[in-house]
Structure 1
Amino acid sequence: MNTILIVDDEYLIADILGFALEDEGFLVEKASNGRKALEALQEKRVDLVITDYMMPVLNGEELVLAIRKELQLPDLPVILMSGAQASQGRPELFAAAFDKPFDVEKLIAKVRELLGA
């Protein structure tokens, strides 16, 4: 069973997405900011990360860079979900990007594609 880490400081979005992924058979972990996400990744095996862009402590771009450099996880797929701010970042760092509000079914389809599920 695949584990997905959802990183978002908006609890409602994290909860809705988490419930949808759990209904599809995935295990879900949550973190409210980038630093907590890095801590979770050090403690648990995660197969995919879905992160917001605008968050306190570390934004989505800083998080993906830390995952690659600090944790040395170059192959961990990271999906970005964000509003307009994502265009300021570097989308090439992410396996996929979804604008908020996003279609949950399309996001789940991308998760399945990236995990080969």
Structure 2
Amino acid sequence: MTTILIVDDEYLIADILGYTLEDEGYTVVKATSGAKALDELERHKPSLVITDYMMPLMNGVEFATEIRKRVGDQLPIILMSGAQSHIGRSSPELFAAVFDKPFDTPKLIDKVKKLLERKTLPGRRRHPPR
């Protein structure tokens, strides 16, 4: 089963998104901060990460940068943000997609499916961690 890690300190957003992804057949793991999410990353080995920008201890860019140090560019990361989405859009090396809050749920789910489909295509070249 495909696991998705949701990182957001707003429980309501994480829960709504989590339930929606579970309805689509994904396993969902949630964390309320980047620091906690790094532990979940090691424990659950998700196929995709969806993260907020504004979080305690570590913002979304710092979190994504740490993921890239650990696993390279093989793990797709989606950034969701209210006011800081422009920061994510200026960092395509970190984020496979950026969504503004409030996000369009069907568009987000469609992007998740496309990213996971692309990740599992045969013959896709994997880059080693940097």
**TM score, norm. by length of structure 1:** 0.94
Structure 2 distance, partners of 1:4, 1:72, is 15
Q: Deviations over 1:28-81 (max 9, x none)?
A: 000000000101111112000000001111110000100011x23421000000
Structure 1 distance, partners of 2:35, 2:3, is 19
Residue 105 of structure 1 aligns to a residue whose secondary structure is: helix
Alignment of 1:63-82 (within 5 A): 63-69=63-69, 71-82=70-81
| Equivalent position of 2:49 in the other structure | 49
Structure 1 distance, partners of 2:26, 2:87, is 31
Contact 1:91–1:97 at 8 Å: present in 2 too? Answer: no
Deviation at 1:87, TM superposition (A): 1.7
Code of the aligned partner of 2:56 = P
Deviation at 1:86, TM superposition (A): 2.4
Code of the aligned partner of 2:113 = R
Contact 1:6–1:50 at 8 Å: present in 2 too? Answer: yes
Q: How many residues align?
A: 116
**TM score, norm. by length of structure 2:** 0.85
| Equivalent position of 1:99 in the other structure | 100
Kindly report structure 1 stretches of 4+ aligned residues shifted beyond 6 Å: none
Deviation at 1:11, TM superposition (A): 0.3
What are the ranges of 5 or more consecutive residues in structure 1 without an aligned counterpart?
Answer: none
Q: Deviations over 1:7-32 (max 9, x none)?
A: 00000000000000000000000000
Residue 12 of structure 2 aligns to a residue whose secondary structure is: helix
Alignment of 1:98-117 (within 5 A): 98-116=99-117
% identical aligned pairs: 62
What are the ranges of 5 or more consecutive residues in structure 2 without an aligned counterpart?
Answer: 119-130
Code of the aligned partner of 1:37 = A
Larger Rg: 2
RMSD: 1.3
Deviation at 1:88, TM superposition (A): 3.5
Contact 2:35–2:57 at 8 Å: present in 1 too? Answer: yes
Contact 2:49–2:77 at 8 Å: present in 1 too? Answer: yes
Deviation at 1:6, TM superposition (A): 0.2
